[in-house]
Chains A and B, each alone.
Chain A
């Protein structure tokens, strides 16, 4: 298998992958980026299975490929930690709670009328998630933004999605080409 060796036994890795993605699948509301703080905490900070730079690469790849961002992320990290079986187990862990919730909804016709409690709950969760993503972004950014060129890349891509509504996958592909030309062909030197 081509996956990278990480410390500890295979079985315990499979168990940790399942448990962690189960928690992510159960507790993150609001799509791909909402899971970033949890993944960063568990796999980068705590277990050091993934470096900050790799985390950023994973975010880029999972957004540029077809499919659901969080599912793609579970496959990528699962594969990196424990091969194909790791990818499968991580994905099952991620989607099992949502599937059970939807099955209950489909059978019981649970009524989800907008209530003031629910409204408060969502405002609260979104505010909290915004704060968590900000902190995770600063942590990853410190490893990645090292000079004026990288800062420029970050600012231009933020402006592209924020002001010009350009699709994130297109931003990533453009940045890949710009990187290839600047650093690969023109050999621009990085001066921190």
Chain B
């Protein structure tokens, strides 16, 4: 039963895939090789598409592999398999947090976690900026990227433009500046 197989395989990937694309890519790769679902080129295409389109790589790969092996229903089945472990785990944890939020233990744990997350958000800024505002070292500034960074910062601070509008503006500015 191909649908059950897809569901089970992506359910497994969904359970072990911690923390985003960089962990999920190698996992997918070994499953794909095991089942001979895609050629190496098709897999490379999927990784490339995932970097260019809004979707997370896990969802993209599940949909693509599902469609290629068993049509649209296969795509849906594989994606459901991928999301199912998250749905179960996150609902349980969200429920627990709300229930025990006032306890001293949870409060002291949260006091440690919250500032650490601010550090991780700062890292996310560095991560995106290192692929656009500068490359590799901070001294190697990409002036087009830096200009867009400053413009978006100013637009958002001064006029509080919506993030979606900001993303469109930065995409348009990016294309424009590379044409000049």
Contact = CB atoms under 8 A, between A and B. Distances in A.
Contacts of B68: 106
Interface in B119-141: 119-129, 131-133
Interface stretch (B1-9, B29-37, B157-165): B157-165
Nearest to A105: B49
Nearest to A178: B112
A31 B20 contact: yes
Interface in A75-127: 75-76, 79-80, 84, 87-88, 91, 95, 97-99, 101-103, 105-107, 112, 116-127
Contacts of A59: 117, 120-121
B54 A65 contact: no
A164 to B, nearest CB: 11
Contacts of B115: 144-145, 149-154, 157, 175
Given A25-B55, A97-B54, A137 B167 contact: no
A107 B60 CA distance: 14
A163 to B, nearest CB: 10
A156 interface: yes
B111 A179 contact: yes
A101 B110 contact: no
A6 interface: no
A79 to B, nearest CB: 5
Given A68-B17, A175-B116, A182-B108, A23 B86 contact: no
Contacts of A67: 14, 17-18, 58, 83, 85-86, 89-90
A102 B64 contact: yes
A87 B89 CA distance: 12
Interface residues of B, number: 98
Contact of A172 (B113, B126, B145): B113
Interface residues of A, number: 109
A183 B24 CA distance: 35
Interface string B76-107: 10010011011101110111011100001101
Nearest to B112: A179
A179 B128 contact: no
23 contacts: A29-B54, A41-B162, A41-B163, A53-B114, A61-B90, A65-B90, A69-B56, A71-B83, A79-B95, A105-B49, A106-B64, A106-B68, A120-B178, A124-B132, A124-B174, A125-B174, A126-B128, A126-B132, A127-B148, A130-B149, A135-B157, A137-B124, A153-B115
Interface of A: 2-4, 23, 25-34, 36-38, 41, 53, 56-57, 59-63, 65-72, 75-76, 79-80, 84, 87-88, 91, 95, 97-99, 101-103, 105-107, 112, 116-137, 140-141, 144-145, 149-162, 167-169, 171-172, 174-180, 182-184, 190
Given A65-B89, A69-B19, A131-B152, 15 more contacts: A41-B163, A53-B110, A53-B114, A60-B113, A62-B90, A67-B86, A68-B17, A101-B54, A106-B63, A124-B148, A127-B132, A128-B169, A132-B156, A180-B108, A182-B108
Interface of B: 14-21, 24, 45, 48-49, 52-56, 58-60, 63-64, 67-68, 72, 75-76, 79, 82-83, 85-87, 89-91, 93-95, 97-99, 104-105, 107-129, 131-133, 142, 144-146, 148-150, 152-153, 156-157, 162-164, 166-179
